[in-house]
Copies of this chain bind each other. A is one copy, B any other.
Amino acid sequence: MRDFIERFEMGEENYLPHISIDCVIFGLSDDALKVLLLKVKDTESWVLPGGYVEKDESIEDAALHILRDRTGLSNIYLQQFNTTGSSGRSFPEDIKVICKSLGVKWTPDLWANKRFISIGYYALIDIEKCKPTGGDLDQEYSWIDMHRLPRLMMDHKDILLKAYESLKISLSNQPVGINLLPEKFTMPELQKMYEIILDKSIERSHFQKKMLRFDIFERLEERREGVPHKRPFLYRFDEKKYRDGVKKGARFDV
């Protein structure tokens, strides 16, 4: 694991200047879409997990490193959604607060105070598989409901909302949402996922028929056990069938 604070202090030598990576990590729990946020010590403000790009590292690898540090996961579904770079995009006052919380010396001419262009990625993960950590920063972290966001530093709320819009559009045309679920899932679970993210209710019978018509889910012999009422079948996403469908020009609109 990289020692972030040490590298941060020598940021001018280690990182590409003026460029940052911000990650929006989505997960599902308690029937809600959640986002992993970090609390800045001694404040009531939160930030997105983020970092910088090493001079010999791709921007995607930089995002993957951030994700691995925060979630303990590799093999993550990752999607670049937006790069934001308005002309005066620098936040020296916020950086000051963050430096204080990290125990790092802040000066007015610190490299991190400069104007930054942020490359945004969102990740979709199965929250059960994830072991979140404060990373090297030993920060407080929390999975926070998309619809009950706290105050976020810098322009991270704008970035987060853009990620959410982007996710909704993707989910409407592609079955990316399966990355939020365990490998085996039921149709009601799949439906709930769509309903939560797209924020609308879907008719049960219609949903099942549509999904099965896509012909990208394999129904298993097993059923979900240990639940009340009738036990729903388990399904598994069939990557190959999906790719074949895409090749043939099939659509997966919800």
CB within 8 A of A59: which of B85, B88, B249? B85
Q: Is the CB of A83 within 8 A of B59?
A: yes
Q: Residues 224-254 of chain A: 1 if any B CB is under 8 Å from the residue's CB, otherwise 0?
A: 0000000000000000000000000100010
For A249, what are the chain B residues with a Cβ–Cβ distance below 8 Å? 200
22 contacts between A and B (CB under 8 A): A16-B17, A16-B18, A16-B117, A17-B17, A17-B18, A18-B18, A18-B19, A19-B19, A53-B85, A53-B117, A56-B87, A58-B85, A59-B84, A59-B85, A59-B117, A60-B85, A60-B86, A80-B82, A80-B83, A172-B173, A173-B173, A200-B249
A-side residues, CB < 8 A to B, are: 16-19, 53, 55-61, 80, 82-88, 115, 117, 119, 169, 172-173, 200, 249, 253
Q: Is the CB of A19 within 8 A of B119?
A: no
What is the bound-complex CA distance between A19 and B115, given in angstroms?
13
CA distance A200 to B117 in the complex (A): 38
Contacts of A83 in B (CB 8 A): 59, 80, 83, 119
Each complex incorporates copies of this chain amounting to 2
In the assembly, what is the distance between CA of A172 and CA of B252, in Å? 12
Report chain B residues within 8 Å CB of A60: 85-86
Known: A59-B85, A172-B173. 15 other contacts (CB 8 A): A17-B17, A17-B18, A18-B18, A18-B19, A19-B19, A53-B85, A53-B117, A55-B115, A58-B86, A59-B83, A59-B86, A61-B87, A80-B83, A83-B83, A200-B249
Q: What B residues does A86 contact at CB under 8 A?
A: 58-60
- Most B C-beta atoms less than 10 A away, residue of A57, A82, A83, A119: A83
B115 touches A87 (CB 8 A): no
Residue of B nearest to A85 (CB): B59
Nearest B residue (CB) for A86: B58
Report the minimal beta-carbon distance from A253 to chain B, rounded to whole angstroms.
Answer: 6
